[in-house]
Each structure stands twice: as C-alpha cells, then as structure tokens.
C-alpha cells in the first residue's frame, strides 16, 4: 500500500497523528467500489478506478497527504470557483454578476439554467462557468492566450507549475456538443460574445489542467485563507473574492445535491468528474480527495464518504456550534525540571493540530511535559482525541506526561492503548472535627479568627468582599458561593493595590463541608489554580497546612467544646 506523507516548512521530529487519522479514513472507504467513471470523456473512461488519495492543508501552510497523493488528474469543474474568484477581482462583483447569477439551480451541472435576464443561474454549472471563463482577458483574446493566463493563475494557486493535459483537452472537445449548444444559446442571449466553439475550447482547457490532491488542498486552503496562498505567502485573490467563491460553493458546489451536502457534511465544497473533490473551512484549512468512481450527481462516491467522515469524526463542519478558531497554546515555559504547556480556548481538530505542531517545532529541554488545560473552555471529540494521541506519542518517545485539568475539561486521561496519563491536582487538604456542619461553616466564614487578624471584610455572604493585607502583600477576595453549611467559594479578585500578590492570580479557595454518620464533619479544602508546577506552590502549600493545623482546626474544636459546656 502506497502512502504519501508531507511535512510543512519545518520538519517535525515525530510523525503527526493527523497523518494517521487521514490514513484511517482512506482505509475505511477503500472497499467501497460503487459508482462509475465519467464514460462520456474517453480519457476519464479509462482512468484507474482504484486511485484513492486525500490531502489536508492548514491556513498556515502545513500539508498532510496520504494514499495516491502524487497522482495527477484533470481538475475539471473544481476549476470553477477559482476562475470565478479571478473574474471577481478583475471586474468586480457588479460586473461579473451582470453576466452570471449566484442562485442554486437545483439541477445537474450540465443543465442549461438561465434566469429572466438570460444569465446562467450560478458560476458553477457549465453554462455559468463558460460565461465566467469568457470574462478572463476580455472578449477578443485568443483561446491559447486565455488558456495560458488561466494555467499560470492555477500554477500560482498550487505554488508550482501546472500543465494542461492535451489528451483530456482533445477528448473533451470531441464530445462537447452539449456545451457547444450552451455557448450558442449564451451567445444568442448576449451573455457571451466570443465564437461559441472557441468559448467552449477555452473552458475545456481550464478543466484539463492537471493537479494532485496536494495541489488541490493547497488551492482550497488559499480560498480558506482569504486569498493568500498558505505555502508561498502570495496573495492570489482578494479576501472578498475568496469569500464569494466559498459562498457559491456552499449553495451550488455539489449541484443538485448541495442542500443535502450542507445538511449532512457542512463543508463548502466543489467536485469534478475526474473524481476530485475539494472543501474549505474558512480561516482554517483546505481539503482535497481523489476517487474516480462517481454517483449520479457526478460526485466522487468515496470522496463524499471521506468528507462525511471528516465532518463527523473530526468535527470539520462549518455549521457546527463549536466551529470557531482560537489560538490553542497560551504559552510554553520551562519551570524547574518541566516544560509547561498552557492551552486556552475551544480545542477543535484544527487547534489541536496546531498545538501538536507547535510542540514538535519547539526544542524541549526537559523530558517532563505538563499539559495545563485549566484555560480550555471545551474540547470537541476530534480535538480531545488528537491531543491525547499526540501526548501518547511523546510518552512513547520517553517523555513523562502529566495533565493539569482542575475542571475535568478533558474528561478522561486514557490513551488509545488503554494506559492513562498522570493527573496533577490543585493543593488540597482534608480534616475531620467533632462538630456540626453548621458550626464548622460558621468558623470558616470568619477568617479573621483563624487565618489572620489583618483580614478585613465580610467572608460569609455571597457577593460580599474581603481582603488580607500585610506589609508585603495584598490579596482581595469575593464570595462566589456561600451555601450555608455545605460549600464556601472565595475567588481571588484583581485589584489596583501595588502590593497585590500575583502568585494568587486566577485562584479560588474552596471549602466543601459534609457531616458523616458518626456526627463528625469533614472539610475538604482546595486552593483551585494553585498548581504544583507554579513557582510559589511549595511556600503557599506550607502556609495553608500551618493555617489549617494551627488556626482553623483548633478554632473549630474550641467552638465545639464551648457549645458542649454550655
């Protein structure tokens, strides 16, 4: 089995789990052999039906590819949104849309759908694509010159020189009667002015450009990246043209199956009858697949299955509620003998890919790796699985992996092989006292009596505030929870005080109180956000142990004894 693996501008030291994910998806559809090749074009009729490839390019130029990723095939109708984007930049939306509409036709790609003004319904059906093709270079440009302009344009999109397959070009011209009929009707309606046969010839040349799935993924990523080619960094089309091209891909990219496609897959896409299929996720990535067998709509059977799997298992769905992009790595720093990787935001497949790539490109100086996910709002399934698979690879390379997850956002730390990562906990302490829950609660909510006499304010009522201050530091608190007799939560609040102790930033003090059957009350104390990998952890942990042992526990016992004596 042939596998093509591509790394981006910087070589990673370890294989990416993204490549394994793509390979698994390709293998999951390999045995599906339904559908037929495009038998009305002789070259495509004899194409190898078993070719199967998949590529993904991120908006910052990282390229992953598996399967037959270097196999060249004609891009066919995949060319249409790109030529539409070029025309938009050359003439502006108003002029282009005077010649072609933007509405879904609800019909097959080779149906003639004209509106009341004689315009084709959209630029992605054949009649619309012929019309848009004629705008490139103006009406008087020879076929060869227009074709060369488009070939050079597609080469810039791909980041390498592409060519026109003359065999495909001649084969399509020989069976282009329907497209020639469209061109005659468009010419009669005044939509195009070129000779009808020449108009079709330059359109066919556009479709006969040869590319690989790697090329197409980069081209799709260019649209997703607001018109900037992610590998070369060149702006190919404007952000507005890229946006409009993707908008039409949403409504008409899969022809009369476009509605079902967006419901079931949710990826702006465009298919070609040679078996190619591209998709974009704006701001994130471009995808391309190849499999020559087509369904009755002219879309690749296995390509459609691949995209469905990308959408469902990897969360790549434009319409998903968790579809947005945020930087995944907040910072990476070395503390003592460990590398601390702090994550933030929503972790999707795309952000997880960037996180793992960022780690692979960094020279880690310690074999102790701590992943801090306390700043993560949520993981979707694809993001969670990719992060865990990446951590498992680091573990297999000899790293000691630990996870700090105080809110259990990651949900579990089990790797795919059944082993688990070590969990790091906040500072905690537990003790039991022979007192009622109410007595314990009352004692805790008066920190001036057990913590320090310099505590000022109300620590008992929800919404109230108090603070601790000495000659060297100041810490302010707000009472977030005050569930009488059960739970107390004090959040550390930022202030403008110049003595503010920033080692307490973003932390909370939590007291969970429960009474057991023997009449004793157990207190579970957590300093949430005070992590073992923080620089001041040991000193603060020592202070808490002393406060609890010398201040709080004796205070509660004295209160219980006084209550008993009375």
Enter the tokens of residue 211. Answer: 């590319």
Nearest residue to 80 via CA among 18, 127, 26, 16: 127
Q: Is 279 helix (H, G, I), strand (E, B) or coil?
A: strand
Give 21: exposed, middle or buried? Use CB within 10 Å, 0-12, 13-18, 19+.
buried
Confidence of residue 266 (pLDDT cuts 50, 70, 90): very high
Confidence of residue 534 (pLDDT cuts 50, 70, 90): confident
- Residues 210-217: what's their mean pLDDT? 98
Please determine, for residue 319, whether its predicted confidence score (pLDDT) is greater than 80: no
- Residues 505-524: what's their mean pLDDT? 89
Q: How many CA atoms lie within 13 A of 390 on its CB side?
A: 24
User: How far, in Å, CA of 519 to CA of 527, rounded?
Assistant: 26
Q: What pLDDT does 314 receive?
A: 84
49 close to 37: Cβ distance less than 8 angstroms = yes
Confidence of residue 508 (pLDDT cuts 50, 70, 90): very high
Q: What pLDDT does 144 receive?
A: 94
Q: What would the pLDDT profile of 218-249 be if each residue is shown by its tens digit?
A: 999 999 999 999 999 999 999 999 999 999 99
Per-residue CA distances from 68 to 48, 175, 458 (Å)? 11, 29, 69
Q: What pLDDT does 9 receive?
A: 36
Confidence of residue 109 (pLDDT cuts 50, 70, 90): low
Q: What pLDDT does 7 receive?
A: 41
Confidence of residue 516 (pLDDT cuts 50, 70, 90): confident
Enter the tokens of residue 534. Answer: 């923080």
Please state at what angle helix 381-396 crosses helix 17-29, rounded to 10 degrees.
120
Terminal CA-CA length for the chain: 85
- Residues 364-379: what's their mean pLDDT? 90
User: How far, in Å, CA of 227 to CA of 220, rounded?
Assistant: 9
Nearest residue to 148 via CA among 236, 208, 95: 208
Q: What pLDDT does 11 receive?
A: 34
Q: What would the pLDDT profile of 154-169 be if each residue is shown by its tens digit?
A: 999 999 999 999 999 9
- Residues 369-376: what's their mean pLDDT? 91
User: How far, in Å, CA of 125 to CA of 490, rounded?
Assistant: 62
Q: What pLDDT does 282 receive?
A: 92
> Pairing relation of β-strands 368-379 and 400-404?
parallel
Q: What would the pLDDT profile of 4-56 be if each residue is shown by its tens digit?
A: 544 433 334 567 899 999 999 999 999 999 999 998 899 999 999 999 999 99
Q: What pLDDT does 561 receive?
A: 66
Instruction: Return the percentage of the chain with pLDDT > 90, whole number.
Output: 60
| 168 membership: H or E segment, kind and range | helix 166-174
Confidence of residue 485 (pLDDT cuts 50, 70, 90): confident
Q: What pLDDT does 107 receive?
A: 63
Please determine, for residue 566, whether its predicted confidence score (pLDDT) is greater than 60: no
Please determine, for residue 329, whether its predicted confidence score (pLDDT) is greater than 90: no
Q: Is 155 helix (H, G, I), strand (E, B) or coil?
A: helix
| 27 membership: H or E segment, kind and range | helix 17-29
Flag whether the pTM goes above 0.85: no
> Pairing relation of β-strands 427-433 and 73-74?
unpaired
Q: What pLDDT does 326 receive?
A: 59
Please determine, for residue 323, whether its predicted confidence score (pLDDT) is greater than 80: no
Give 187: exposed, middle or buried? Use CB within 10 Å, 0-12, 13-18, 19+.
middle
Q: What pLDDT does 55 receive?
A: 98
Interior CA angle at 441 toward 439 and 443, to 5°? 70
> Pairing relation of β-strands 338-347 and 368-379?
parallel
> What value does the mean pLDDT of the chain take?
89
Q: What pLDDT does 5 receive?
A: 47
355 close to 343: Cβ distance less than 8 angstroms = yes
**Bridge partner residues of 281 (DSSP):** 285
Please determine, for residue 531, whether its predicted confidence score (pLDDT) is greater than 80: no
Distance of CA 552 to the CA centre of its chain: 48
Enter the tokens of residue 225. Answer: 């990246």
Nearest residue to 101 via CA among 125, 83, 77: 125
Q: Is 59 helix (H, G, I), strand (E, B) or coil?
A: coil
Per-residue CA distances from 87 to 72, 157, 244, 543 (Å)? 26, 15, 11, 69
Helical segments of 208-343, H only: 213-224, 239-252, 258-264, 301-313
Q: What pLDDT does 399 receive?
A: 93
Highest mean pLDDT among 12-16, 174-178, 185-189: 174-178
- Residues 492-504: what's their mean pLDDT? 90
Q: What would the pLDDT profile of 57-87 be if each residue is shown by its tens digit?
A: 999 999 999 999 999 999 999 999 999 999 9
Q: What pLDDT does 563 receive?
A: 58
Distance of CA 509 to the CA centre of its chain: 35
């Amino acid at each position: 089995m042939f596998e093509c693996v591509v790394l981006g501008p910087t070589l990673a030291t370890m294989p990416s789990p993204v490549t394994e994910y793509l390979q698994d998806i390709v293998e999951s559809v390999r045995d599906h052999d339904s559908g037929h090749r495009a038998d009305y074009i002789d070259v495509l009729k004899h194409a190898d039906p078993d070719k199967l490839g998949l590529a993904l390019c991120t908006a910052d130029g990282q390229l992953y590819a598996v399967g037959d990723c270097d196999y060249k095939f004609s891009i066919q109708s995949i060319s249409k949104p790109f030529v539409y984007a070029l025309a938009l930049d050359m003439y502006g939306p108003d002029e282009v849309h005077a010649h072609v509409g933007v509405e879904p036709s609800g019909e097959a790609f080779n149906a003639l759908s004209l509106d009341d003004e004689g315009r084709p319904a959209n630029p992605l059906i054949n009649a619309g694509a012929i019309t848009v093709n004629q705008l490139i270079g103006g009406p008087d440009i020879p076929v060869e010159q227009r074709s060369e302009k488009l070939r050079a344009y597609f080469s810039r999109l791909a980041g390498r020189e592409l060519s026109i397959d003359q065999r495909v070009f001649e084969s399509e011209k020989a069976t282009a009667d329907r497209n020639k009929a469209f061109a005659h009707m468009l010419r009669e309606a005044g939509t195009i002015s070129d000779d009808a046969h020449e108009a079709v010839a330059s359109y066919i040349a556009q479709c006969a450009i040869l590319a690989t799935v790697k090329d197409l993924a980069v081209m799709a990523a260019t649209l997703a990246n607001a018109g900037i080619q992610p590998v070369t960094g060149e702006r190919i089309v404007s952000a507005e043209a890229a946006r409009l091209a993707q908008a039409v891909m949403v409504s008409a990219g899969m022809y009369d199956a476009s509605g079902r496609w967006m419901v079931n897959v949710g990826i702006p896409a465009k298919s070609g009858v040679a078996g190619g299929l591209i998709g974009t996720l704006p701001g994130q990535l471009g995808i391309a697949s190849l499999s020559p067998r087509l369904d009755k709509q002219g879309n690749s059977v296995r390509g459609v299955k691949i995209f469905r799997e990308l959408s469902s298992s990897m969360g790549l769905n434009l319409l998903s509620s968790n579809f947005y992009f945020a930087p995944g790595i907040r910072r990476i720093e070395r503390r003592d003998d460990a590398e601390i990787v702090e994550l933030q935001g929503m972790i999707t497949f795309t952000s997880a890919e960037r996180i793992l790539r960022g780690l692979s490109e960094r020279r880690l100086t310690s074999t102790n790796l701590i992943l801090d996910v306390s700043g993560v709002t949520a993981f979707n399934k694809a993001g969670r699985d990719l992060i865990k698979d990446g951590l498992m690879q680091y573990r297999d390379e000899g790293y000691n992996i630990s996870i700090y997850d105080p809110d259990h956002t990651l949900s579990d730390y089990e790797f795919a092989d059944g082993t688990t990562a070590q969990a790091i906990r906040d500072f905690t302490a537990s003790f039991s006292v022979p007192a009622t829950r109410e007595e314990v609660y009352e004692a805790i909510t008066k920190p001036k009596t057990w913590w320090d006499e310099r505590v000022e304010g109300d620590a008992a009522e929800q919404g109230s505030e108090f603070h601790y201050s000495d000659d060297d530091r100041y810490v302010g608190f707000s009472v977030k929870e005050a569930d009488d007799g059960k739970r107390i939560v004090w959040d550390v609040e930022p202030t403008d005080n110049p003595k503010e102790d920033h080692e307490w930033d973003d932390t909370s003090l939590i007291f969970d109180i429960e009474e057991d059957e023997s009449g004793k009350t157990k207190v579970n104390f957590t300093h949430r956000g005070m992590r073992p990998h923080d620089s001041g952890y040991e000193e603060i942990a020592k202070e808490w142990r002393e406060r609890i042992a010398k201040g709080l526990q004796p205070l509660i016992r004295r209160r219980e004894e006084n209550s008993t004596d009375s």
